[in-house]
Structure 1
Amino acid sequence: MFLPENIDFAFPEKYILSIRIIPDGFSFSIHCPTDHTVFYYKETSFNNKLSYNENIQKLIFDFGFFTQPFQSTRVIVVSNEYTLIPEIFYEKKKVNDIFNFNITTNKKTVLSEKPEKVAENDFYVLFSMDDELHSFMCRNLWNPIFTHHISQLLPYFSRHNNEAEEKRCYVNFHEELMDICCFRKNKLLSANTFPVNATFNPLYFIVAVWEKLPLDQSADFLYLTGNTESHKETVDALKKLIKKVQILSFSPNITVPKEEISSVPLDIKIQLCE
């Protein structure tokens, strides 16, 4: 696997490794917090003859640098299987019960994390990983930190235009998923992730969220980000339904060609600004 010449694994402690576990794939990035010219992102294809877990294990074994003692090794779980629990109701010993009450799991490890403070809200994100995969990564990566992709997005969305009186809805398109996060000033109103494919129309979910909260089609903001080009029909329809629709661009502070960053998921781009 080709890596840029300015990544030197003789000094792995300079870099942050981020591994993204998505429902049907695997990607990773490497960057240096002190050198904005160092960034690499790669999506990898799977061998159809192997299981999902076997593919990931093979990738990590074949490319030995994954096990290096990086400054930080992050495993980002990208999924729609998560739930938010207000801190006042959080009890570590009841994490499994709370999660399983909301989402049925089978042979999965339930994890929890408290994200960076999101406006007025203090809460924990509960999410799950396959038992075998979680155990494998704990054994073979250097002190991995497990996180959920929604934990990366919410703090960023909560800070954006948060002085506006109007409610704000953020829609992030990525892989075959779509995040919908809504705020009123400094308060998180809702956060959900939905499947998006030929069966599940993104327009249906967005309109349903606006009706349920409710949001005002004439006054409130709708911000679209992520892979909006693949959802042009949805974007055009939303512009007819909602008055204040904006494409939210995100330019991380790194000096690499735009074409190298255009396909990078938003949760990775946000990390580049830390």
Structure 2
Amino acid sequence: MTERIDFTKSEQYTLSIRLSADGFSFSIYNPLGENSFCFDSYTVNASCSMTANIKEMLTSTEALKYPYKRINILVDSPRFTPVPFDLFEDEQIDTLFYHNFPKVNNEIVLCNVLGKSNVVILFAMDKHAHQLLTEHFPTARFFSTVSPLTEYFVQKSRLGNSKK
């Protein structure tokens, strides 16, 4: 599906990668052009680790070899927890997260501060996968898949008294 994208201008584009246990997907979007959006999925090998699947995807997918203006990596996992911003402290990320979930080896706890909803989403992902993606995409931003939905629904809930 990437045949509509002109990769000579990839520095203008936004790349979003969704990581999930059931498969990966990515989209490329050019905010400056019409019809400059493509979406593609990548089937994972369930017998391999997430890191091995990511490494295979990065080497075999031509579209992921170009430089991009913005790179978003969305981690789809049930291991996330919201924390009110007033109770959040950077030094307490692991303590807050592992209060709600059992500790898992080789995992890193990340956070998304959601300004519109006044909440912080704590989420975990495989440490090796995070390291691999950070090395390949140094400017990447990591998000839990619930973060953009939370911001959207909070904004929607404040719009009048109609059905929501």
TM-score, normalised relative to structure 2: 0.89
Matched, 1:123 2:122: no
2:101 corresponding residue in structure 1:
103
Matched, 1:163 2:160: yes
1:164 partner SS: coil
Q: CA deviation at 1:85?
A: 1.1
Give, in whole Å, the separation in 2 of the partners of 1:36 and 1:148: 28
Matched, 1:68 2:74: no
2:91 corresponding residue in structure 1:
93
1:3 corresponding residue in structure 2:
2
Give, in whole Å, the separation in 2 of the partners of 1:157 and 1:49: 36
Runs (5+) with no aligned partner, structure 1: 166-220, 224-274
1:24 corresponding residue in structure 2:
22
The 1:78–1:49 alpha-carbon spacing in structure 2 relative to 1, beyond 3 Å, is: closer
Give, in whole Å, the separation in 1 of the partners of 2:47 and 2:121: 34
Amino acid at match of 1:109: I
Count how many residue pairs are aligned between Structure 1 and Structure 2.
Answer: 162
The 1:48–1:85 alpha-carbon spacing in structure 2 relative to 1, beyond 3 Å, is: closer
Amino acid at match of 1:81: R
Matched, 1:138 2:138: no
Residues 58-104 of structure 1 deviation map (CA, whole Å, 9 limit, x = unaligned): 11012243243211001001122111111111111110111011112
Alignment of 1:1-274 (within 5 A): 2-5=1-4, 7-48=5-46, 50-106=48-104, 107-118=106-117, 122-160=118-156, 162-164=159-161, 221=163
Give, in whole Å, the separation in 1 of the partners of 2:144 and 2:103: 16
Q: CA deviation at 1:53?
A: 2.1
1:19/1:26 contact within 8 Å kept: yes
Give, in whole Å, the separation in 2 of the partners of 1:23 and 1:47: 10
1:67/1:141 contact within 8 Å kept: no
Give, in whole Å, the separation in 2 of the partners of 1:48 and 1:75: 20
Give, in whole Å, the separation in 1 of the partners of 2:161 and 2:46: 49
Give, in whole Å, the separation in 2 of the partners of 1:103 and 1:136: 24
Name the stretch that deviates more: 156-165 or 105-114.
156-165
1:21/1:75 contact within 8 Å kept: yes
Give, in whole Å, the separation in 2 of the partners of 1:83 and 1:100: 10
Runs (5+) with no aligned partner, structure 2: none
TM-score, normalised relative to structure 1: 0.55
Q: CA deviation at 1:48?
A: 4.7
2:21/2:50 contact within 8 Å kept: no
Residues 87-138 of structure 1 deviation map (CA, whole Å, 9 limit, x = unaligned): 11111111011101111231210001112412xxx11110011011011101
